[in-house]
Amino acid sequence: MNLKALEKTALSVRALSMDAIQKANSGHPGLPLGAAELGAVLYGEILRHDPTDPSWTDRDRFVLSAGHGSMFLYSLLHMSGYKISLDDIKNFRQIGSPCAGHPEYGMAPGIETTTGPLGQGLATAVGMAIAERMLAARFNTAAHKIVDHYTYTLVGDGCLQEGVSAEAGSFAGHLGLGKLIAFYDSNKITIDGSTDLSFTEDVKKRYEAYGWQVLAGSMYDMEGISKLVAQAKAEAKKPSLIILTSIIGKGAPTKQGTAGCHGAPLGSDEIAAARKNLGIEGDFFIAPEAVEYFKAKRADWKKERDAWKATFDAWAKANPEKKAEWDAFYAGKAAAALEMPKYNIGDKLATRAASNKALVAVSKAWPNLVGGSADLQGPNAVALPEAGVFSAANPSGRYIYYGIREFAMAAISNGISLHGGLRSFCATFLVFVDYLRPALRLSALMKQPVAYVMTHDSIYVGEDGPTHQPIEHLASLRVIPNVRVLRPGDAEETAVAWEMTMARKDGPTVLALTRQNLPVYAKADPDWRETIKTGAYVAKKPDGKADVVVLATGSEVSMALDAAAKAAGKKVQVVSVLSRELFESQPKAVRDAIIPAGARVVVCEAGVRSGWERWAKIEDIMSIDRFGESGPADKVAAHLGFTVDALAALIGK
């Protein structure tokens, strides 16, 4: 280990971070200064990566869970040769700069993901480690190992205080993810001050109880860190947490060790004093020894990647079928023809049951689809009987028993998706989307095509009562940018909804599905399978020009069809709105073809009114703007005025 060069690398991380944050007049120097030595060994010694090919499939992954410390990443990525220029760093936190405040996925090469929202990075890293293990099991052969990398993450006090780290830590321990290595920047400082204010638990015991190997050392002993990582790698059956005792803002003469350097520029006086103490010469200083070191390193990295490529080519030659599957996995394409179930008009089944049939079909066409439910496999109807169960003993299984950990489940799904090669789905009751919402938001922000299978989608849940009856949830999901909510009205629409989910590449889809049975209905639009992809289509057309157009979603479509039949004297058109936001994004001509100008619009959805006002007058919206009731589903619906007769009366007004 070239300690001298690595020390100079750490020094340069400090210099670049102080200056970029000062120039931006915004940012968090505490972490990059406090953890600079870890950064130097990590990027200089430990990581198996190649900055000239950031998408090399078998690179090690590093997730900065404590995303506020972003200058840590940018300075190291710059020095190791990723395409982040010094000018980019000088533009830290400015609009359009790849060096965003909290590194968002897709903006800069070399960033696997980082989570500004504390704790999620750890869970996302768990997802990446799961993906590595799954792909290794699927593709490696006795002769060739083409998937064999580690997932590292850096977490802070904040990440470990957040509940999601408990869910994810517990699950990673259960699965025995031996190739997951987390570093804990244990500086005992958060924004409010000392962790003595609120965090005195024994983290070591906690993670040991989860089934992790827990090691400890100093942040400033680079050889020690390297040995600890070797120890972590030697433990193949447990994830490892390496607790590194550190000083926040190390190197800032008066501010180090205090909350004052967590999230504010150090100020020019402090920087001047730090430069003098540390031997930093000038602005945006990068030590020549560090530059030389990484220059030399590039050849080593290339050698490693070339060696991998040779193995990969030999593997591809020896295993053409596996190679074809690999290509499909990484191209995000189906590997076989999709054969969706067929239905007859009048068949009665819940859309969750139809979703299961579709999911099973999809999983055959897409052998890279993996996922599971948070302890609701049966109720969510997501069993994949032929896909096997993923576990420590069976890494090629595709169904994941997440346990009751919705938030980690969704963050892990992001990690699986971000890893590359796999598509992920997760499932729970729609009402519990609130338990995973922060990860869904990141799926949307990071443009990850995770499928969220959310069943029991309305008051028709019935007896479980208001705690289990979603009311505001559809509306609250539709308002998240880049989240696509699909609420199919029958089994046939559900199959198309799954096709749309798999076709989407740039963001998550939420499938809102019923618990209760619904009839498969005849559809007026002969091209409905295509039209529905615009978000809505005409399910029933009247003779002649429509007086009233009913917009309904999910279970309310069949209700609207029944009501239309009863609404005497009106020419009623019924529209199934599979996805309101998708429909709203269509050109006017497409919308007008479905909702003809001049017709009165009536809306029916078993959820809050919010958002439908743009389509109908308030008095023409049949919605539920209160919490539900505990009782049999049809009685609850009647109690809330949700009946075919009530809708027919509204249409007839």
Ligand X SMILES: Cc1ncc(C[n+]2csc(CCOP(=O)(O)OP(=O)(O)O)c2C)c(N)n1
Instruction: Please give the positions annotated as active site.
Output: 406
Stretch that binds Mg ion, among 180-188, 206-214, 427-435, 485-493 (CB under 5 A): 180-188
Examine residue 451 and tell whether it contacts ligand X (CB under 6 A). Answer: no
Residue 155 C-beta: closest distance to ligand X, Å? 7
Which residue in 161, 131, 99, 53 sits closest to 448, CA to CA? 131
Residues 6+ apart with CB under 8 A from 23: 90, 92
Q: Please identify, using beta-carbon distances, which residue of 188 and 504 lies nearer to Mg ion.
A: 188
Site for ligand X, residues 68 to 107, rule: CB under 6 A: 68-69
Examine residue 213 and tell whether it contacts ligand X (CB under 6 A). Answer: no
Which residue in 526, 519, 551 sits closest to 615, CA to CA? 551
Cβ atoms of 633 and 647 within 8 Å: the answer is no
Which listed residue (30, 39, 110, 488) binds ligand X by CB under 6 A? 30
Tokens of 293: 């070191």
d(CA 642, CA 82): 58
Tokens of 551: 């917009």
Which listed residue (1, 107, 191, 324) binds ligand X by CB under 6 A? 191
d(CA 23, CA 172): 40
Q: Which residue spans within 326-480 are E strands per DSSP?
A: 348-350, 369-373, 423-429, 451-455
Q: Please identify, using beta-carbon distances, which residue of 163 and 632 lies nearer to ligand X.
A: 163
Burial string for 327-348 (b: 16+ CB within 10 Å, else e) reads ebbeebebbeeeebeebeeebe
Please state the length of the chain. Answer: 653
Residue 156 C-beta: closest distance to ligand X, Å? 3
Stretch that binds ligand X, among 63-71, 336-344, 558-566, 632-640 (CB under 6 A): 63-71
Residue 195 C-beta: closest distance to Mg ion, Å? 7
Which listed residue (32, 98, 117, 470) binds ligand X by CB under 6 A? 117
What residues pair up with 425 in beta bridges, in sequence order?
371, 451
Stretch that binds ligand X, among 43-51, 112-120, 480-488, 572-580 (CB under 6 A): 112-120
Q: Please identify, using beta-carbon distances, which residue of 117 and 489 lies nearer to ligand X.
A: 117
Q: Please give the size of the binding site for Mg ion, defined by CB under 5 A.
A: 4
Partner touching 514 among Mg ion, ligand X, none, CB below 5 to 8 Å by kind: none
Residue facing Mg ion at closest CB distance: 157
Which residue in 511, 490, 579, 518 sits closest to 362, CA to CA? 511
Partner touching 68 among Mg ion, ligand X, none, CB below 5 to 8 Å by kind: ligand X
Partner touching 24 among ligand X, Mg ion, none, CB below 5 to 8 Å by kind: none
Partner touching 116 among Mg ion, ligand X, none, CB below 5 to 8 Å by kind: ligand X
Find the distance separating the first CA and the last CA of the chain, reported in whole Å: 82
Q: Please identify, using beta-carbon distances, which residue of 158 and 421 lies nearer to ligand X.
A: 158
Tokens of 91: 């533009």
Examine residue 65 and tell whether it contacts ligand X (CB under 6 A). Answer: no
Examine residue 39 and tell whether it contacts ligand X (CB under 6 A). Answer: no
H-state helical runs in 285-425: 288-318, 320-331, 351-365, 377-380, 406-419
d(CA 527, CA 444): 30
Residue 306 C-beta: closest distance to Mg ion, Å? 40
Which residue in 208, 215, 209, 150 sits closest to 181, CA to CA? 150
Which listed residue (58, 157, 406, 581) binds Mg ion by CB under 5 A? 157
Q: Please identify, using beta-carbon distances, which residue of 261 and 384 lies nearer to Mg ion.
A: 261
Q: Please identify, using beta-carbon distances, which residue of 190 and 623 lies nearer to ligand X.
A: 190
Partner touching 179 among Mg ion, ligand X, none, CB below 5 to 8 Å by kind: none
Q: Please identify, using beta-carbon distances, which residue of 123 and 214 lies nearer to ligand X.
A: 123
Q: Please identify, using beta-carbon distances, which residue of 146 and 259 lies nearer to ligand X.
A: 259
Stretch that binds ligand X, among 79-87, 187-195, 376-384, 496-504 (CB under 6 A): 187-195
Q: In one letter, which amino acid is 110?
A: G
Cβ atoms of 433 and 473 within 8 Å: the answer is yes
Residue facing ligand X at closest CB distance: 156
Examine residue 190 and tell whether it contacts ligand X (CB under 6 A). Answer: yes
One DSSP character per residue, 85-144 reads -HHHHHTTTSTT-SS-SSPPTTSSTT---B-SSTTHHHHHHHHHHHHHHHHHHHH--SS-
Residues 6+ apart with CB under 8 A from 506: 447, 449, 482
Examine residue 189 and tell whether it contacts Mg ion (CB under 5 A). Answer: yes
Examine residue 187 and tell whether it contacts Mg ion (CB under 5 A). Answer: yes
Q: Which positions lie near ligand X, rule CB under 6 A?
A: 30-31, 66, 68-69, 116-118, 156-159, 162, 187, 189-191, 248, 262
Q: Which positions lie near Mg ion, rule CB under 5 A?
A: 156-157, 187, 189
